[in-house]
Structure formats: C-alpha cells, structure tokens
Structure 1
C-alpha cells in the first residue's frame, strides 16, 4: 500500500493571484494552514509567498511547513511560445527546487478568462494538440535536467486539456518519462471525467494529486447557463468534502493501491471569500480525510 501524503494550498484560502486585495494575506495563510494541522503546502501563484528562498525557508520552518510543489500555467500550444513559457516556468522551478520540493505542477492555458468567463481562444485542432504534447514533453525533460523536478500536468476546467477524452489524448501525445498527471479530482469531475477510470487505466501516469469536490447541482446550473469557471467558483461549485463528487474514499483507496507514495493536496477553490471562511473548512476537511482515507498521512 502506498502512502497518500495530504497537504493544502493557498487556493484553499481563496488565493488565485500573486497580489489581490480580496485574498488572504500570505502570513495569515501560513499561520492558519499550520494551525489546521497541515505540514505540507504548495507555493501557489508565484509572488504570493516570498520569492527570496532564505526568507521563505525561515517563514516555513518556524511553522513546521514544507513545500511539495510549485505551480505555473503554460501556453505551449501556441507557435513560438517556448521562450515566454520557459521564462515563467524557470522562475517558479528555481524557487520550488530551493525549497527542497520535487514536483512542478504545470497547468494548460485557458480558452476562457478565469474571472470574466470571456472566450479568449478557439479550441485546439489536432495539429495544435500534437505540438502541445511534444512541447510539454520537452518542457518536462528540461525542468528535470535543470532543476531536478518532476513535471505533473494539471488538466483544468475551461482550459485546453479538460475533458476525459482530452486528458487521454494528452497522455498519448506525451512521454511518461518526462511528464505525468496531476490528477485534480474536482476539475476532472467538473469536466465530466471519471477519476477512478483514469487511475485504473493510467496507473503509471498518476504522479501527483489535487483533492477537491464539485457540487453537482451548482455544476448543472453553470452548464445550463454557459458560465465560466470563475463565476462557477463564486457560486460554490467547488464544495467542502464530503458534500460533492467524486466520492473521495474510493479515490483515496485506489491511489493507495498504486503502491507508490503520492502527495495529495487539498485545493478547494474559494476565490474570493471572507477571511474567516477557510480555516474551519480546512480543519474539517483534514479530519474527514484522516477518518475516511485509507493510506492517508499528514
């Protein structure tokens, strides 16, 4: 049985951007994530936490926290996008590696604005998907070579890799030696995918996990009205476990049976939210996971 090592992230404190007056201040996030009982976190948007490695390490150490991964968006489906993507990726990868983490979570560009819901790009054609897969494999190879990090690709709602079919296409277009899957249970369910089937069909490609749930009633309304992901989050589409889907105990059980140790980071999208909302949810979620998750470890 593998360990499912649980952590949390700034996202669960309503953080989507490096600097936004609506968000929880970074000091409060660190204080509260530790108070909730977590010992592992992600960096969140680059620039939200201090980017000076010495200062960040000091802040983490005094709260008993460690970093599991950095996160960054990419746009490698676009021609001539390598240099701009690498510039952003390398800054995050450097800080991630300096914190002793081993993973970089890479998220695809969104075809819809994450806040306004405005459609900003057309769907990818076959040529663009093939180019994207080839470029992502090279990105993962270079990240490993230069920073010693494993690249974990994160399918995302309203992004160019979203549905179950598109996830499978991405896995077929990429090399598992250099890039694998950050299985975000909420985004897979949001886009109509099957988390358990992905674990079953691609056990060797599950390299990292984000744990979240979707409220199916809110999702039905969002789909019916054609709303973007940002508005869906405002309406509470990503809900506190165990109120939504997928059912997490079977997912955690399937992950533990992969016989590898995985990081599973709780990410409940809450942007924006009142400052007193995240901590009680984080405490209840950790208690629920520890009670209902085979192989779960803090």
Structure 2
C-alpha cells in the first residue's frame, strides 16, 4: 500500500507501527446508561468480540458494570481491554460547573483507570439538546465564555493527570460551541497542551466541513485520541440547510457506514500513526435509536474495511 504521509515529511513511520483500533457502545446505538431500546451490555460485549475488536470504551457511565472487579472479570473473560471513559462538561457556563465535572471524573476516571485506561474523552454541553432538540442557549460563545471554557478544561486536565494519571481528550461535537475548524483551533489556542488535547472525531469535525488531515498536520502535538466515523454527504447539506438537530440527523443516518461517507479513514490513520502509533483510533458510529440487530454486521464490516485500506492499524 502507498504511504499517504507527504514525501517531504520529516516524520518517520515504521512499518507495523499502526494505531490500536477499537470500538465503543455508541457503535451499537448506546447513548444512555439505561434504555430498554438499547442492546443489553452483555450482548454488546459478546458482539464486540465476534466483530474482531479488542479495545472498547466505557460508554455512558452505568451502561457497563461500574464495580471494577465485575467489569474486569467481564472484559477479561472476553479478552477485551478498556481505552477510555467519557464525561460531559459545561465550563463556559461558570465556576459552578467544576463540581459537576469533577463528580463525573471521580466516578468515570476512577473506574476506567482501575482497568488500565489512560484517557478520558470530554464532551462539551450542546447548545441544543440531543434528547429533546430544544434550543438551550446561544450557538456561539462570548470572549468571556471562551476564557471560562479553556480555564475549566485546563483545570480538569491537570487534576485528572495528578489524581488518576489520565489524559483529557476534548471532543468537538455537532450542535456544540466547538465544532467548526475555527472554533476547534481557537479552543486549542486558548488551552494548555500539557492538560488539554483533542479526541479528534473525524465525523463530527467533517460535519462542519473540517479537513481532518490538515488539522492533524498543522497541530500534531494536540492530537491525543481518535474517534473514527464518516458523514453521509448526500444528507449533510440538507441537514445543515434545514437546521436539523443532531439527534434527528442521527436517526436519519447522518453518520454512515464506511467507506460510504467522508472523510477517508486511511489517510487520517496514517497521519496520526506518524505522530504516535500508541494513539487509539476508536470506531464510533452514532446509531442511537437503531434496532438491536442492526449494529453488529456494520461493526464487523467496518473493522474489515479499516484493516483492508491501511497497514497502519492493529488490533492489540
């Protein structure tokens, strides 16, 4: 396979030094800790193994067992490992948001770190609810809110490192205040790379027209983690033109099975492997609301596609 890293790059990529590819409960339509329409957690774990993955994320706290010994047994019996957990923050709203964020971190990072995970994916609050589609606040932040947002994340990242040895990976998101290229770059400019870096979600960044490979090449020191997904461009512009809430766009299929959308995953995987082959690349195809039988074959085909389109991918 042809290496897509620029020929004049001064970064050396070693053959076989591929990224660790994993998956997440999101790829099975799981958005909430407890929802009778979601796939049961035992079935999720069994199907992850059957689809050929080794690494998973925790998903919404409470979906998988929260007792560390039980979770360790459940993962260990299936040969699975944990890459990260997830929390939600709203630091732009003010200082009172710290306790909310830290309470989540104590639970999620506390559990994940006991199972060897070294990352916490942090998703900012949305300006439009992903549960009700209600508009909750302005779509953009004031300069003062940007300062609060950046300061809050740096504080959280520092505390996570000191308390748990866990690295904060910020996840830009559709219907959030940090989604476009300019917003993501501003967030990076206003935060400290020692404590705050990116979980670059390829689908969410492409949702607002972002060029993933360009961002990786321009800010290689800020890429700490990947979520792999693709956007259906045949639907995207209708979604944007008609101001469709993200949750509704998901049920319409805005995030599509690779390789049927954008961006191409191979150049992204290869560009990040050139930075650090120990970075995780977690498949995360938003499918909330799907039938429980729907995700497994997609997960299997997606893994097969990734490993067929690049040599810079590994299971373990």
TM-score relative to the length of structure 2: 0.93
The equivalent of 1:29 in structure 2 is 44
For residues 276 and 247 of structure 2, the distance between their equivalents in structure 1, rounded to whole angstroms, comes to 36
The equivalent of 2:211 in structure 1 is 194
For residues 277 and 299 of structure 2, the distance between their equivalents in structure 1, rounded to whole angstroms, comes to 25
In the TM superposition, what are the counterparts of 1:2-151 in structure 2 within 5 Å?
2-79=17-94, 80-122=96-138, 123-151=140-168
For residues 259 and 99 of structure 1, the distance between their equivalents in structure 2, rounded to whole angstroms, comes to 22
Offset, 1:3: 2.4
For residues 256 and 85 of structure 1, the distance between their equivalents in structure 2, rounded to whole angstroms, comes to 31
Please tell me whether the aligned partners of residues 113 and 164 of structure 2 are also in contact (alpha carbons under 8 angstroms): yes
Instruction: Describe the SS at the equivalent of 1:107.
Output: strand
Q: What are the ranges of 5 or more consecutive residues in structure 1 without an aligned counterpart?
A: none
Please tell me whether the aligned partners of residues 51 and 296 of structure 2 are also in contact (alpha carbons under 8 angstroms): yes
The equivalent of 2:256 in structure 1 is 239
For residues 230 and 65 of structure 1, the distance between their equivalents in structure 2, rounded to whole angstroms, comes to 30
Offset, 1:249: 1.5
2:312 equivalent to 1:279: no
Question: 1:158 pairs with 145, 170, 175, which one?
Answer: 175
2:232 equivalent to 1:215: yes
Please tell me whether the aligned partners of residues 7 and 40 of structure 1 are also in contact (alpha carbons under 8 angstroms): yes
Please tell me whether the aligned partners of residues 253 and 295 of structure 1 are also in contact (alpha carbons under 8 angstroms): yes
Offset, 1:127: 0.8
Instruction: Describe the SS at the equivalent of 2:93.
Output: coil
Instruction: Describe the SS at the equivalent of 2:91.
Output: coil
Please tell me whether the aligned partners of residues 256 and 294 of structure 1 are also in contact (alpha carbons under 8 angstroms): no
Superimposed CA distance per residue, residues 21-63 of structure 1 (whole angstroms, 9 cap, x where no aligned partner): 1111101100000111100000000000000000000000111
Superimposed CA distance per residue, residues 206-227 of structure 1 (whole angstroms, 9 cap, x where no aligned partner): 0000000000111111112111
Instruction: Describe the SS at the equivalent of 1:289.
Output: helix
140 and 259 in structure 1: CA distance in 2 versus 1, 3 angstrom threshold? closer
For residues 32 and 159 of structure 1, the distance between their equivalents in structure 2, rounded to whole angstroms, comes to 31
Superimposed CA distance per residue, residues 119-142 of structure 1 (whole angstroms, 9 cap, x where no aligned partner): 111121111011110110010000
Instruction: Describe the SS at the equivalent of 2:53.
Output: coil
For residues 22 and 126 of structure 1, the distance between their equivalents in structure 2, rounded to whole angstroms, comes to 41
For residues 196 and 95 of structure 1, the distance between their equivalents in structure 2, rounded to whole angstroms, comes to 33
TM-score relative to the length of structure 1: 0.98
The equivalent of 2:285 in structure 1 is 268
The equivalent of 2:10 in structure 1 is none
Please tell me whether the aligned partners of residues 211 and 267 of structure 1 are also in contact (alpha carbons under 8 angstroms): yes
Offset, 1:191: 1.7
Superimposed CA distance per residue, residues 58-86 of structure 1 (whole angstroms, 9 cap, x where no aligned partner): 00011110000001111111112111221
Alpha-carbon RMSD:
0.9
The equivalent of 1:179 in structure 2 is 196
Instruction: Describe the SS at the equivalent of 1:41.
Output: strand
For residues 284 and 277 of structure 2, the distance between their equivalents in structure 1, rounded to whole angstroms, comes to 21
TM superposition outliers: structure 1 runs of 4+ over 6 Å: none
